A and B are shown apart, each in its own frame.
Chain A
Amino acid sequence: MEAKEIVLVISLIILIVCAVSVNLTKNLLSAVIIYLSYSSVMCIVWVLIESPDLAITEAAVGAGVSGIMLLLTLKKVKEENERISDEIEDRRTTREILESKKAEDESLGGEA
Chain B
Amino acid sequence: MNSRFRQWLDGGLDEAEMIRIMDASELPDRPREEIRQEARQKKEEFLKQEEIQKEILASRERTRWFYIFVAVLSCVCLIGVLLGLVAHLPRFGVENPLTMEVVTRYVEEGLEETGAVNIVSGMILDYRAFDTLGESNVLFTALVCVLILLRADRKNMQAGREDYYKIRSDQYYDLSHDAIMRFAGMVLMPCIVLYGMYVILNGQNGPGGGFSGGAVMGAGLILSAAAFGFDTVDRIFTLRLSNIITFVSLSFYSLAKGYVFFMGANGYDNHIPKGTPGAILSGGMILPLDIAVGIVVACTMFGFYSLFRRGCIGGKTE
Chain A residues at the B interface, C-beta cutoff of 8 Å: 49, 51-53, 55-57, 60-61, 64-65, 68-69, 72-73, 75-76, 79, 90-91, 94-95, 97-98, 101-102, 105
| Pairwise interchain contact B207-A69, C-beta atoms closer than 8 A | no
Indicate whether A60 sits within 8 Å of B212 (C-beta atoms), given known contacts A65-B218, A68-B222, A79-B169: yes
Interface size class of B (residues with CB under 8 A): 20 to 34
* Interface SS of chain A: helix
| Pairwise interchain contact A53-B209, C-beta atoms closer than 8 A | yes
| Pairwise interchain contact B219-A60, C-beta atoms closer than 8 A | yes
Q: Which of B99-107, B247-255, B263-271, B300-308 contacts A (4 or more CB under 8 A)?
A: B300-308
Indicate whether A65 sits within 8 Å of B219 (C-beta atoms), given known contacts A49-B92, A55-B207, A56-B199: yes
Instruction: Kindly state whether residue B16 has any CB partner on chain A within 8 Å.
Output: yes
| Pairwise interchain contact A72-B208, C-beta atoms closer than 8 A | no
Closest A residue to B211 using CB positions:
A57
Instruction: Kindly state whether residue B64 has any CB partner on chain A within 8 Å.
Output: no
- Residues of B contacting A61 in the complex (Cβ-Cβ under 8 angstroms): 212, 215
10 closest residue pairs by CB, A with B: A52-B207, A60-B215, A72-B308, A56-B212, A57-B212, A94-B16, A53-B207, A64-B219, A60-B216, A91-B16
Contact with A along B74-104 (1 / 0, CB 8 A): 0000000000000000001000000000000
Give the contacting residue for B208; candidates A53, A64, A98; CB below 8 A: A53
- A101 to B305: give the CA distance in the assembly, Å: 48
- Residues of B contacting A90 in the complex (Cβ-Cβ under 8 angstroms): 16-17, 20
CB<8 Å pairs between A and B, sample of 28: A49-B92, A51-B120, A53-B120, A53-B121, A53-B212, A55-B207, A56-B199, A56-B207, A56-B212, A57-B211, A60-B215, A61-B212, A64-B216, A65-B222, A68-B222, A69-B304, A75-B173, A76-B308, A79-B168, A90-B16, A94-B20, A98-B19, A98-B46, A101-B36, A101-B39, A102-B40, A102-B43, A105-B36
- Residues of B contacting A101 in the complex (Cβ-Cβ under 8 angstroms): 36, 39
Instruction: Kindly state whether residue B309 has any CB partner on chain A within 8 Å.
Output: yes
Instruction: Kindly state whether residue B23 has any CB partner on chain A within 8 Å.
Output: yes
- Distance from A104 Cβ to chain B, minimum over Cβ atoms (Å): 9
* Most chain B CB within a 10 A radius of its CB, from A57, A60, A101, A102: A60
* Interface SS of chain B: helix
Closest B residue to A55 using CB positions:
B207
- A102 to B2: give the CA distance in the assembly, Å: 30
- A78 to B236: give the CA distance in the assembly, Å: 32
| Pairwise interchain contact A69-B308, C-beta atoms closer than 8 A | yes
Closest A residue to B42 using CB positions:
A98
- Residues of B contacting A69 in the complex (Cβ-Cβ under 8 angstroms): 304-305, 308
- Distance from B277 Cβ to chain A, minimum over Cβ atoms (Å): 18
- Residues of B contacting A94 in the complex (Cβ-Cβ under 8 angstroms): 16, 19-20, 46
- Residues of B contacting A105 in the complex (Cβ-Cβ under 8 angstroms): 36, 40
- Distance from B138 Cβ to chain A, minimum over Cβ atoms (Å): 13
Contact with A along B209-232 (1 / 0, CB 8 A): 101100110110010000000000
- A60 to B298: give the CA distance in the assembly, Å: 11
- A72 to B20: give the CA distance in the assembly, Å: 33
Contact with A along B287-313 (1 / 0, CB 8 A): 000000000000001001100110000
- Distance from A46 Cβ to chain B, minimum over Cβ atoms (Å): 10
- A91 to B20: give the CA distance in the assembly, Å: 10
Contact with A along B30-58 (1 / 0, CB 8 A): 00000010011001001000000000000
- Distance from B211 Cβ to chain A, minimum over Cβ atoms (Å): 6
Closest B residue to A49 using CB positions:
B92
- Distance from A59 Cβ to chain B, minimum over Cβ atoms (Å): 8
Indicate whether A73 sits within 8 Å of B23 (C-beta atoms), given known contacts A56-B212, A65-B222, A98-B43: no
Extra pairs beyond A53-B121, A65-B304, A79-B169 (19, CB < 8 Å): A49-B92, A51-B120, A53-B120, A53-B209, A55-B207, A56-B212, A56-B216, A65-B215, A69-B304, A69-B308, A72-B305, A72-B308, A72-B309, A73-B308, A75-B169, A94-B20, A94-B46, A98-B43, A102-B40
